[in-house]
Amino acid sequence: MPLVHALWSPGRGLLLWAERDGGPAGTSSRSARIALPHPFAVSSADLTALHPGKPTSATLLLPSRANRPLAATESATGGNRRAPSLRPWSVPALIVDASELDDLDESASYGASVTYLRAVARLAADLVRRGRVLPTLVRRGDAAEARWRPVLQGVDFVAFDALVAAMPPVGRAEQIAPLTGASPRALVTDALHTLVDAAVRDRLARADPPVDLLGHQGAAGEWLSALQGGVARVELPLGELGVLAEAVAKWDEVADTDVVDGRACFRLAEVSTLRPRDADDPDDQTGDGTKWQLRFLLRSTADPSLLLSAGQIWSGEAAGLVRDPRGLFTAELGRAALVEPMLALALRRTRPSEYDLTVEEAEQFLTSGATRLTEAGFEVQLPATWDGRRRLGLRLSVKSTPAEQVVTRSRVGRDELAAFRWSIAVGDDEIGEEELRRLVAAKSSLVRLRGRWISVDADRLRAGLEFLRRDPDRPARRPSAAELLELVHLARETPLPVTGVSADGWVGDVLAGRVHQALRPVALPPSFRATLRPYQQRGVAWLAFMSALGLGACLADDMGLGKTVQTLALEAVERAGDERPPTLVLCPMSLVGMWQREAANFAPGLRVLAHHGVVRAHRDALAEQVAAADLVVTTYATAARDAAELATFTWRRLVLDEAHAIKNADTATAKAVRRFTAEHRIALTGTPVENRLADLWSVLDLLNPGLLGTRFEFRQRFAAPIERGGDTATAAALRRLTQPYLLRRVKTDPAIVPELPEKIEIRQEYRLTREQGTLYSAIVDEMMKKIENSEGIKRRGNILAAITKLKQVCNHPANLLHDGSPIGQRSGKVTRLEEILAEILASGDRALCFTQYTEFGHLLVPHLSDRLGTEVAFLHGGMAKGSRDALVERFQSDDGPRILLLSLKAGGSGLTLTAASQVLHLDRWWNPAVENQATDRAFRIGQGRTVQVRKFLCPGTIEERIDTLITKKRALAGMVVGEGESWLTELSTDVLRGVLTLGEEAIDD
């Protein structure tokens, strides 16, 4: 990947050039004054492919050694080696527009000089935006050019000096004289003047309405024409040119100083017309009794109490109060016209003092122009009756039954909303229909409301009135709970956003996210045999409440807090006296048996059908079995295969256990599940956000379709600001929005599970053997060549392949080579594992060992059994359901195996393995949520001993980088989790080499 540099070349502008990684040193000798072609520079053709521009060349003075320039990645001082010297090198370059610095090709890497010149361009743009510029005349002998120059005062001086000091060496590398480059101050000065001049001309050309500076004749007219047009040259006789230069020079006297005698002030005033307002209508929304006038003044900076009117300045009364009041006032007004173009019309007068505004211009000045002028350093005075731009929206008033009464009902209908009324609000003021009618009749965006001027969108105001009048019965229409909440959150069917909701009863509880705190526990039927903890009772009450409202619910309790038993309790409560359609439970295959066992233990009255395997029923036989069942338990894979048949049934409830299985809405499984019809939907997952915010949208949108908007709307509104910018305000808004549908309790909270044992996490370090270290380095060298020579998807695939191989070699050479060779003493990790397991067995404990590689597990089973003299069991995805269930039951028994190996995918969720108090993660996964789920097989309710969690890693290897990533993700898990391994695939080749390269501390000496 080429590394792109930028520099400012006086007379030419912004140049880009690029280099690739350095090759071998040259051998020919040459004079240090002759510029030879840079051996690693990117050609003009390749540069043009990266970025459009005009090809050119540049001679650069670069650090060099052994007749070659040092590459950017090389150190300038290599130990005791001779220090590099500056030598000239010729490079192909491109002349590009500075405005295009933010639009660069992602297939290249960009050096600090590009970021630096972006900062220079931003300062230039900011000066122009704030009007910190002045017109000037640049003399070059008998010729002259009209230019716009920056005005640096105060903090702008500080910013300029900081840029001069921060210029990277490559930014001043262009050769100006033999072995001499330009000074940083000269380069920044030239760049700033050139960029400011171009930006002002562009702003004048695009101004709406157009700015016309051509209202003058003679020398001034020639100068103004050159300031506005594309040709800066001023063609005048020498005599007239000298007079013009002397006059313009007075403007320069107020520039580039820390003190300015005065600042322009703009006062917007209401001026009564001859026709008085309607005496019967003191609020007079039409505005016909008022015209708007913008008055120009000058405030002394030496004496802020001195405020001079335009009349005092033009009459000469201000002489002696400030230095050159007329020149200063003219300069300030000209600067302001660049910030607010409407002022240009007023400045065409000989002695401008005020400007009469139309209602539209007054609204524009109040809502945007005044802010721009204030940000540019001008003083703006607005009428006391101006109340700002106030948000226009709909207010909703809802009354409903109390939340605790909802749980006792099987279904809450539209009639449960005792009152439902729309109204229009402007800011905090709710306005009646008659008042709204008068505002609409004004046909203006600047209107008077209750004695205050406000700005509203006239078209949206009219749409709001039409919405209230469209159907006389519409305000009384009572939506369902789901329709109501979708209306509040998305306002899809309303012409205005919903800016306020006044709600009591269950509606208020849902919107405030306090339902699970306000509800009382439901009465469980005698047939239910489990004793629920208080938090579980609250969970069942919450699920019953959401079910009664027809709202999908996500029970996101930590692993081990009993999500299954809470769901079974809900089913038992609902089916205690009523006949209902069966509930469909989707889960991973390893949990089908668990659902059967839990139902048999806690709710034996529920009829359970396990629908999976090759002998499962279809068509009429399936219909008969479903009709005779209360719970139909099947796997996600089976549901996808049998989607057409399962979609023909109307289910009482759809339960998604380990709901992160449908986190990707584009998978065949997720699409199949969306086809199923159910009266209520529940998601059970301890990780509602496993990798990214799209996971959360996928789960909640399946529970309540459309409630969070489309996937595109959700990405634009929430995912992009949070994941890219870390927007905490947007993250908080998302939490508030999803809170009504998501109940999460964590088991580390003593108030939830006070009897949960302590968990100790240990970073278990080891070192590679010589064989492992040799293989590791060979893989890095081989894969880096492939990565360097590939692009796009192929490059990302090569990076992921390299990561997999490096993780496998850290496990054992045989895990990489796939040759079935004996384990022996070839792996530092396996040797350390043997030592730890021996200690665990000696202490009488049992251990769970997780690996993401099934092949590694098969290698370990016979080796560990032989070395430790004990049975080592292995649970993996290739086992049949019956074999898995039998192994889990045997491990939990007193005479079961002491060591259980598990593949992370097959055994990392859904199982209860509290017989073990030791958890070993042999190879690390990228997501802390995945590791936590695996740990929770032992760290859960029912575990009576302290749980020790050991995480293997070798310092200086990819495993240590993974550990660092997991630590960062865990810190950010409350807001956003990144996208697994994909972050590595986007790194530059040089940075990637540093991530993958083996450190010296990794190999055991």
Cis peptide before 495 (omega within 30 of 0): no
Q: What is the CATH number of domain 527-680?
A: 3.40.50.10810
* Contact call for residues 758 and 995 (beta carbons, < 8 A): no
Which has more pLDDT, 546 or 757? Answer: 546
Provide mean pLDDT across the span 578-588: 90
What distance in Å separates the CA atoms of residue 829 and residue 984, rounded to the nearest whole number? Answer: 24
Question: Which of 613, 593, 590 minimizes the C-alpha distance to 601?
Answer: 593
- Please, which residues have CB within 8 angstroms of residue 648's CB and are 6 or more apart in sequence? none
% of the chain exceeding 90 in pLDDT: 20
CA–CA gap between residue 551 and residue 547 (Å, rounded): 6
Q: Which pLDDT does position 673 carry in this prediction?
A: 92
- Contacts of 246-252 with CB under 8 Å at 24 or more apart are 248/135, 248/136, 248/137, 248/223, 250/324, 250/327, 251/134, 251/135, 251/136, 251/327, 251/331, 252/134, 252/136, 252/149
More confident residue, 454 or 285: 454
Report the range of poorest mean pLDDT among 282-291, 373-382, 471-480, 705-714. Answer: 471-480
Q: Which two tokens stand for residue 896?
A: 């079961």
Distance CA 899, CA 319 (A): 96
Q: For 166-191, what is the mean pLDDT?
A: 82
DSSP code of residue 1002? G
* Model confidence pLDDT, tens digit, residues 905-915: 887 777 889 99
Which pLDDT does position 67 carry in this prediction?
A: 74
Lowest mean pLDDT among 38-52, 306-320, 769-783: 38-52
Q: Residue 825: how many CA atoms within 13 Å on its side-chain side?
A: 3
Q: Do 38 and 87 touch, CB atoms closer than 8 A?
A: no
Distance CA 376, CA 620 (A): 77
Reported as a pLDDT band with limits 50, 70 and 90, residue 956 is confident
Q: Which residue has the higher pLDDT, 182 or 471?
A: 182
**Per-residue model confidence (pLDDT) at position 25:** 46
Of 255-269, 304-318, 363-377, the one with minimum mean pLDDT is: 255-269
- The H or E element containing residue 379 is strand 379-381
Of 160, 158, 173, which is closest to residue 112 (Cα–Cα)? 173
Phi, psi of 130 (to 5 degrees): -90, 5
Determine the number of helices (DSSP H) and then strands (DSSP E) in the chain. 39, 36
Given this model, what pLDDT does residue 718 score? Answer: 82
Q: How high is the pLDDT of residue 755? A: 63
Quick check: 923 pLDDT over 50? yes
Q: What value does the mean pLDDT take over residues 501-520? A: 66
Q: For 98-149, what is each residue's pLDDT tens digit? A: 877 766 665 668 888 888 998 899 999 988 888 888 888 888 777 788 888 8
**What architecture is the 760-1002 domain classified under in CATH?**
3-Layer(aba) Sandwich (3.40)
Tens digit of each residue's pLDDT (9 = 90 or more) over 386-414: 877 666 666 666 666 655 555 555 454 44
Model confidence at 208, pLDDT cuts 50, 70, 90, reads low
Contact 653, 584 (CB under 8 A): yes
Give Cα 54 to chain centroid, integer Å. 36
Do residues 395 and 373 lie in contact, with contact meaning Cβ atoms separated by under 8 Å? Answer: no
pLDDT in tens, 731-750: 777 877 787 788 888 776 76
End-to-end CA distance of the chain: 36
